[in-house]
Copies of this chain bind each other. A is one copy, B any other.
Amino acid sequence: MTDPQIERKLIEIMRVISESDKPIGARNIADELQSRGYNLGERAVRYHLRILDERGFTEKHGYNGRTITTFGRKELDDALIGDRLGFVITRIEELIYNTNYDPISKEGNVIVNLSTLDKNDFDNALDVMKYAASGGMCISPNIKIFEEDSDSGVYVPEGSVGIATVCSITYDGVLLRNGIPVKPVYGGILEMEHNDPVQFRDLISYSGTSIDPVKIFMIRHATSVLDVLDTGNGRILANIRTIPSSAVDKAQEVLHQLEASGLGNVMNIGSSAYDLCGAPVEEGLSGILVGVGVNMISAVEEAGIPVSTSPVSTVLDYKVMSKL
User: Which residues of A pack against B, CB within 8 Å?
Assistant: 74, 77-78, 81-82, 84-85, 87, 186, 188, 199-205, 207-211, 216, 219-220, 272-274, 277-280
Q: B204–A78 contact, CB under 8 A?
A: no
Q: How far is the CA of A82 from the CA of B208 in the complex (A)?
A: 21
Q: Are A207 and B204 also in contact (CB < 8 A) when A77-B274, A81-B199 are?
A: no
Q: Is the interface of A mostly helix, strand, loop or mixed?
A: mixed
Query: Closest CB of chain B to A54's CB: distance in Å?
Result: 21
Q: B204–A85 contact, CB under 8 A?
A: no
Closest 9 CB pairs of A and B: A205-B208, A81-B278, A85-B278, A202-B210, A204-B209, A208-B208, A203-B210, A78-B274, A85-B200
Query: Closest CB of chain B to A289's CB: distance in Å?
Result: 14
Question: Which residue of B is nearest A208, CB measured?
Answer: B205
* Chain B residues with CB below 8 A from A208, complex form: 186, 203-205, 207-209
Q: How far is the CA of A214 from the CA of B273 in the complex (A)?
A: 26
Query: Closest CB of chain B to A215's CB: distance in Å?
Result: 10
* Chain B residues with CB below 8 A from A220, complex form: 219
Apart from A188-B210, A204-B204, 12 more pairs, CB < 8 Å: A74-B274, A78-B273, A81-B273, A82-B280, A87-B203, A201-B210, A204-B208, A204-B209, A204-B210, A208-B208, A209-B209, A219-B220
Q: How far is the CA of A268 from the CA of B220 in the complex (A)?
A: 32
Q: A203–B278 contact, CB under 8 A?
A: no
Q: Which of B82, B85, B207 contacts A202 (CB 8 A)?
A: B85
The residue in A188, A203, A209, A272 that gathers the most chain B C-beta atoms within 10 A of its C-beta is A209
- List 20 A-B pairs, Cβ < 8 Å: A74-B274, A78-B274, A81-B277, A82-B273, A84-B199, A84-B201, A85-B200, A186-B208, A202-B209, A203-B208, A203-B209, A203-B210, A204-B204, A204-B208, A205-B207, A207-B208, A209-B209, A211-B216, A219-B219, A219-B220
Q: How far is the CA of A224 from the CA of B208 in the complex (A)?
A: 24
Question: Which residue of B is nearest A211, CB measured?
Answer: B202
Query: Closest CB of chain B to A209's CB: distance in Å?
Result: 5
Query: Closest CB of chain B to A76's CB: distance in Å?
Result: 11
Question: Which residue of B is nearest A185, CB measured?
Answer: B208
